[in-house]
Amino acid sequence: MNPACAHIIDDDEAIRDALQWLFKTRDVACTTWPSAEEFLAAVQPDWGGCAVIDIRMEGMSGLECFDALRARGNLLPVVFITGHGDVPMAVAALKKGAFDFIEKPFNDSDLVDVVVRALDADAQRQLAAATRETVEARLALLTAREREVMEQILAGKYNKVIADHLNISMRTVEAHRSKVFDKMAVRSAVELAQLINLVGGR
């Protein structure tokens, strides 16, 4: 995975250099791109961080870059830098899922604070995605019968009720219950329910 950083996308070299210097003074890792086209040609689905994009650029605009990212399913948080006349466009982008925008002339600390929040948000998103993948992988290990038993456990049913419902013995239910807990790496029905909730249900 590419190390998480702030991707500065601006066709003005002076602004790119100024922002790069600003972020480095606040220990925010960053890289610069002279155009939306170059960034889109390089960006990979597993890149973490955020994108800081000038809303108006030569060639592809910041909004078009944002739309292209989302069309690919890329959820990298996007912070727009906008001029006063472009605020309505930036607000429209927020409604489409952009992280935030900051208006020129901006306060340096305000911009860095927004970018740090975007980086934190992306880190949380990536962690949640990794957790979902782990849970899905564990669920894939369960047999059909173990899944049936798990459904009953999550419904709060006691072993005897599960045995009657599935027409199997109590001993068999206990064996399946133990295997479900082992494969899902949990110690209780409560932990199992919390884990399953991370993937939005069963």
* pLDDT digit string, tens, across residues 75-116: 999 999 988 778 888 888 899 899 999 998 899 999 999 999
As a whole number of angstroms, the distance between CA 75 and CA 45 comes to 9
Domains and CATH numbers, the chain: 5-130 (3.40.50.2300), 142-200 (1.10.10.10)
Q: Residues 86-101, buried b or exposed e (16+ Cβ, 10 A)?
A: beebbeebeeeebbbb
In the structure encoding, which two tokens stand for residue 48, read together? 């973490």
| Backbone φ and ψ of 81, nearest 5° | -100, 125
Where are the extended beta strands (E) located within the chain?
5-9, 30-33, 49-54, 78-82, 100-103
As a whole number of angstroms, the distance between CA 38 and CA 168 comes to 61
* Per-residue pLDDT, 1: 44
Arithmetic mean of pLDDT, 176-200 = 89
